[in-house]
Amino acid sequence: MNWKNNITKLLDVEYPIIQAPMFGVTTPAMVAAATNADCLGTLALGDLPAEKCIEHIRATKQLTKNNFAVNIFVNDIPELTDALREKYTETKDFIENIAREHHLDVHLPSIEEIQINSYHDQIDALIAEKCRFVSFTFGNLDEPSIYKLKNNGTLLLGTCTSVTEAVILEKSGVDIVCVQGLEAGGHRGSFSSDDIPAIGGLSLLPQVYDSVNIPIIYVGGIYNAKTLLATQLLGAQGFQLGSLLLGSSESALEQFEKQRLRDVDETAIALTKSFSGRYARGIKNVFTNLVDEGHILPYPYQNKLTGELRRVAKANNNSQFVSIWTGQSNNGYSGKSTAEIIKKLITEVENLYSIKEDRK
């Protein structure tokens, strides 16, 4: 199989395979492993402050001399009103109470104690660190940020969950669009946090392909040769791997979280806003079942509020109060290295492609 295409040329890689930016899961070691396997590793920076972004970028540079992508969140930040302050306090009390009822003694931060960062604070840091590839999710960069990054030679990868979002990204000057299907694990990359497009990836992908003229990376449900080749047939030139790497040796997940993934079946996976205030696909647990719509703050306030809860639960090996994100394609969650998992997939694709060619 010939892997060379527009994506490999733009990203300067041997294989058009991208390791997904899974904030809280991705590590510098995972990024380096994917990059050193002649694919594109992606360092998840989320909404970290600029100084933390620099720290993580430099740690990754210590592990690989190849280029890698960085990923940031570009969501709007809701205005801090009196009504939001009141709901925050009510939600804080509610979550602390249900946590204590389940033997987790947590003291969540007040709204004055949390730090909300804007992606605008990250842009100069990414440019200073000479980040060649910048991907983003939860919306689109504003025009000044796009101009500043592209003026410094940065290639931009935006995330869409609908044809409309894909067209907006292309018109704004984004170089590559990442098409995220509804089956993908983790947070929906939708521009809106509420009215998310409910369209599966294999329906969305060909529609985006027919609607834009920039290269497409597909995101969601790729876990073996058949799923990768299916998305290629529908228009994907690049293939992003996320859930397939959750159990890898470089993953930041704890062993009890990886074991929970290996024990799960498809009935336990659902979309929820309970942990972050934005829809994300992962494993249902006590927390997702107990937190109702009345106790969910807009992102990023819910995410900041529950951060300490998740930290304490993780320290106590408690899978009922941590967010374990994964997609709908159960893949066994191999514990091998990221490089081994990716290379195995590449070999499977080449073998399957050869069989298909031989049968013609």
Judge whether residue 360 has pLDDT over 90.
no
pLDDT at 289 over 80: yes
Q: What is the pLDDT of residue 23?
A: 97
**Distances 26 to 42, 190, 266 between C-alpha atoms, Å:** 8, 21, 23
Mean pLDDT of the chain: 96
Q: How far apart are CA 349 and CA 347, in angstroms?
A: 5
Give the model's pLDDT for residue 294.
87
At 282, phi and psi to the nearest 5?
-165, -165
Which pLDDT value is given to residue 238? 98
Dump pLDDT digits (tens) for 293-320.
Answer: 889 999 999 999 999 999 999 999 999 9
Report the candidate in 231, 213, 246 with the shortest Cα–Cα distance to residue 17: 231
Domains for the chain: give ranges and CATH numbers.
Answer: 6-77+116-248+341-358 (3.20.20.70), 78-114+265-325 (no CATH)
Question: pLDDT digit string (tens) for 169-205?
Answer: 999 999 999 999 999 999 999 999 888 998 999 999 9
CA–CA distance, 178 with 312 (Å, rounded to integer): 34
Spatial CB neighbours of 35, under 8 Å, sequence gap ≥ 6: 41, 64, 66, 67, 68
Dist. CA 303–CA 142, nearest whole Å: 23
Strands 69-73 and 42-46: parallel
Within 10 angstroms of residue 58's Cβ, the number of other Cβ atoms is 11
The pLDDT value given to residue 194: 86
The tens digit of pLDDT for each residue in 20-40 reads 999 999 999 999 999 999 999
pTM metric for this prediction: 0.95
pLDDT of residue 159: 98
Whole-number Å distance between alpha carbons of 325 and 333: 12
